[in-house]
Amino acid sequence: MLKVTDLNVYYGAIHALKGISFDLQEGEIVTLIGANGAGKSTLLNTISGILHAKVGQVEYLGEDISNEAAQVIVQKGIVHVPEGRKIFAKMTVLENLEMGAYTVSDRQQIQDKMGAMFERFPVLRDRKKQLGGTLSGGEQQMLAMARGLMANPKLLLLDEPSMGLAPVLVEQIFDIIQDINQLGTSVLLVEQNAHMALSIADRAYVLETGNIVLEGDAADVMNDPMVISAYLGG
Amino acid sequence: MNKEIIRSSSQKGLLFGIVMIFLVLINFHLMASTMISKLMGTNVLRGSLPEARFFIIFLVLYAIWVGWSAASREGKTIHKLFEGLFAGLIAGLTVALFGLLLFYMLETQTDIRKYLTALSFPSMRFFLLDMGELGILVHFGLFTLLGLLGSALAVGLRSQKVAHFKQGVKTAITNLRLRITNALPESVNKYGKYGIYLLLLVILFLLPTRWGSYYNFVFGMVGLYVILGIGLNIMLGLSGQFMIGIAALFAMGAYSVALLNSPIPHGLMWGFWPSLAVGVVMAVIGGLLLGLPIMRLRGDYLGIVTLGFGEIIRILLNSDLLTDITGGPRGVQNIQQPTFLGTPFNDVMYAYLIIVAMAVSIFLYYRLENSRTGRAWLSIKEDALVAQATGIDVQKYKLLALCVGAAFAGLAGGIFAARNQFTGPNDHTLMVSINVLSVVIVGGLNSIPGIILGSFALRGLPELLRELETYRLLVFGALLVFMMLVRPDGLWPASRPDLEEKGSPGLKEDIEPAEEGRSND
């Protein structure tokens, strides 16, 4: 479904991604784990068209999207949920969700989608007229994910959904990710919380300073001695 | 009486005394007395001093303030009264010592104007209330007695009873309102809003014919600033772009109307309406040309570049280089008037024109704000990255905001030039941009009533304060400072009626749009 080949991304003179190649099959959860500054967010930003690669290409459903603008990529079905609970703090929950469906023009479809989101995230229904900024951290993360799902993604790019959340909330979020995946949305999950990410992912890639240093089935990666010592604290 | 009370109140008194001396050294006592004199209907001739009794009024107010602020909020009444009295005593003593010094200098004819220009002999005599040594005693007595009075006032007005009374009046008013609305038939409540609009319309229709050309002029200025404010608000309030060069876009509109509809320099006589349309289009083009290179800039940097843009346009208009095209420093004169049924526009017609332009602008603004486009702008303002991730073409919408805002500025500029029958580089200085920015910020970002109120406060009030002549900017500045302290979100902040205020007690702070203009950083 998604095929990234030899991706090189620069911030000015800084070489952030040094020839990344990986792929993601339809229906999979693939996770990218790595420390701060490994280039995880850069990679997601490049796939979603917020950044553009100098060298290499991103292929989605057999089509080269490396040079497409972000809004075109959203319309093609790749939705990016940026890290750090980036919600519209001064808009209500309802408005946040409406913004998520910006590319959808069918009103009925938006209504249905909204209903589905309130089913999945009941807390958002309770808070629908509150400003996004007044929600708690976990609620904000749920709102960010719900907003992403409003656009009907085929592929969801999640950037550190567990960031700064209590363990019980992290589990809740990861359950929801699995649910979403089972309903047919492929997920590319970027995480620092390697243990949680590996436990729900099908396959995993380990990113270090702009390079992929390890790849394989999630279970194998979880047992890799290097990963255990570097990310799982074993 | 414990020492703490004596210490704090003597400090207060000393502070107020020293401030008073300082005010005299910058001649403020003369200024204030003149102002009071004028407010009370006694004119003061230029170069002469006001009567001493007006200075006494100033002193009375000041001394009451000393007592008021010296009285602490909590504690026994007797302590509060003592605090006022003691602070007044100390302040009076300080001022009296200063008076003694002045009296001595008057007696010995010591002229120190070389060092302190404000301390001329008449001014010194005026400070002593034209009474010589007796003035010193009067100062001392006034401060002491009124310090006590001030603290007594503070005790009285801050008491529980007064607070209860205030609360009572408030609830009574609310109850009355509720009873009236309940008593009225439903149809009145439903259509009452439209009735008020109709009334407003009639007032707006009648006023320009009644109140004379001067007020029409002031009103027109306010109206044009409302339109400019709406334009700027689209850039700043909706899409979050910190734009300071709106005077340049205003100039595009003004110069289009001026050049296309005047005998000199080009002899083009296109008529007002076509040239106004060209003005709006030119402003939009200006906004586009400005927007393209600055799309990547944000926050303060954007502000600096747009400020530069505004200055470039003004300097170009002012330069000899373009004299043949734009009229150079002399500007464009004899701009032709639009006509209505064959008669050229007079001040009343211009007032109507501005009312219509204002109404159209407000209508368009509301339509835009609540549209998909408006939502996209707001989301870009909040977080451009997330907006992009939800599928909004950030660049396109930012440019669009600049262009739409520019159209409003061009409209205001075109009407402005025609109404003045003249426009020149000095109509489009940086001050115009800053004034528009102030109108929007002072009034309240994203709030149309706020912008209207802001225009009245910032553009109307200084005109109406002209009575005070030299002091009008002083009064105006003081009002501004006071307002920003009391209402930091603007005179009439934007409200969100559909909001449900639930959650943490600290919620209010989160909603308050602090630093709205820079949330883009």
DSSP A12: T
Of B378, B388, B500, the CB nearest to A50: B388
Q: Phi and psi at residue B272, in whole multiples of 5°?
A: -70, -50
Is residue A223 packed enough to be buried (19+ CB in 10 Å), middle (13-18) or exposed (0-12)?
middle
Task: Kindly list the residues from chain B whose CB atom is less than 8 angstroms away from the CB atom of residue A123.
Answer: none
- A122 occurs within a structural domain: no
* Bridge partners (DSSP) listed for residue A25: none
Alpha-carbon distance of B432 to B34, in angstroms, equals: 30
Per-residue model confidence as pLDDT tens digits over B473-515:
776 777 778 877 888 888 888 877 566 554 443 333 344 343 4
Nearest Cα of chain A lies from the Cα of B378 at a distance, in angstroms, of 9
Say which residue the tokens 């380990």 belong to: A206
Per-residue model confidence as pLDDT tens digits over B279-338:
999 999 999 999 998 888 888 899 999 999 999 999 999 888 888 888 888 889 889 888
Chain-wide mean pLDDT for chain B?
Answer: 85
Alpha-helical segments (H) within B343-456: 347-369, 372-382, 384-389, 394-420, 430-443, 448-455
Asked, as a colleague might, if the bond just before B265 is cis with ω within 30 of 0, I would say yes
Alpha-carbon distance of A151 to A178, in angstroms, equals: 18
B210 contact partners, CB below 8 Å, separation of at least 6 = none
- A159 occurs within a structural domain: yes
Q: Do B379 and A99 touch (CB under 8 A)?
A: yes
- A162 occurs within a structural domain: yes
Q: Is pLDDT above 80 for B189?
A: no
pLDDT of residue B76: 82
Nearest Cα of chain B lies from the Cα of A140 at a distance, in angstroms, of 14
Q: How much helix, strand and coil, in percent to the nearest 5, is found in chain B?
A: 75, 0, 25
Say which residue the tokens 């808009």 belong to: A91
pLDDT of residue B520: 40
Task: Kindly list the residues from chain A whose CB atom is less than 8 angstroms away from the CB atom of residue B507.
Answer: 134
Q: Do A70 and B504 touch (CB under 8 A)?
A: no
**Taking a C-beta distance cutoff of 8 angstroms, is the pair B128, B102 a contact?**
yes
Helix axes B347-369, B212-233, angle to 10 degrees: 20
Q: Which two tokens stand for residue B406?
A: 């520019």
- A104 occurs within a structural domain: no
Chain A nearest-CA residue for B503? A134
Best CA proximity match to B422, nearest among B184, B284, B255: B255
Q: Which two tokens stand for residue B265?
A: 């320099």
Paired sense of beta strands B339-340 and A211-217, if any: unpaired
Q: What is the ipTM of this complex?
A: 0.88
How far from the centroid of its chain's Cα atoms is residue B49's Cα? 30
Q: How many domains does chain A have?
A: 1
- A113 occurs within a structural domain: no
Of B378, B389, B510, the CB nearest to A70: B389
Alpha-carbon distance of B390 to B343, in angstroms, equals: 55
CA angle, residues A30, A34, A36, in degrees to nearest 5:
135
CA separation (Å) from B38 to A177, B142, B462?
74, 23, 16
Residue A50, chain B, CB below 8 Å: the answer is yes
Per-residue model confidence as pLDDT tens digits over B84-138:
899 999 999 999 999 999 888 888 888 887 777 778 888 888 888 888 888 889 9
Q: Which two tokens stand for residue A112?
A: 């249905």
Q: Do A74 and B390 touch (CB under 8 A)?
A: yes
Its domain, for residue A32, covers 2-84+152-230
pTM of the model: 0.76
Residue A123, chain B, CB below 8 Å: the answer is no
Task: Kindly list the residues from chain B whose CB atom is less than 8 angstroms away from the CB atom of residue A103.
Answer: 390-391
**Taking a C-beta distance cutoff of 8 angstroms, is the pair B253, B412 a contact?**
yes
Q: Which helix (H) or strand (E) holds A57?
A: strand A55-60
Q: Which two tokens stand for residue B455?
A: 């225009």
**Taking a C-beta distance cutoff of 8 angstroms, is the pair A22, A190 a contact?**
no
**Taking a C-beta distance cutoff of 8 angstroms, is the pair B231, B405 a contact?**
yes
Q: Which helix (H) or strand (E) holds A194?
A: helix A194-200
Nearest Cα of chain B lies from the Cα of A20 at a distance, in angstroms, of 22
- A168 occurs within a structural domain: yes
Q: Do B390 and A147 touch (CB under 8 A)?
A: yes
Q: Phi and psi at residue B244, in whole multiples of 5°?
A: -115, -5
Chain B nearest-CA residue for A145? B390
Of A48, A127, A131, the CB nearest to B510: A131
CA angle, residues B448, B454, B457, in degrees to nearest 5:
150
pLDDT of residue B502: 45
Measured from the Cβ of residue A193, the count of other Cβ atoms closer than 10 Å reads 20
Residue A95, chain B, CB below 8 Å: the answer is yes
CATH number at residue A10: 3.40.50.300
Task: Kindly list the residues from chain A whose CB atom is less than 8 angstroms away from the CB atom of residue B511.
Answer: 90, 131, 133-134
In chain B, ranges of CATH 1.10.3470 domains: 200-496
Of B382, B385, B393, the CB nearest to A50: B385
Residues of chain A below pLDDT 70: 234
What is the assigned CATH class of domain B200-496?
Answer: mainly alpha
Task: Kindly list the residues from chain B whose CB atom is less than 8 angstroms away from the CB atom of residue A79.
Answer: 389
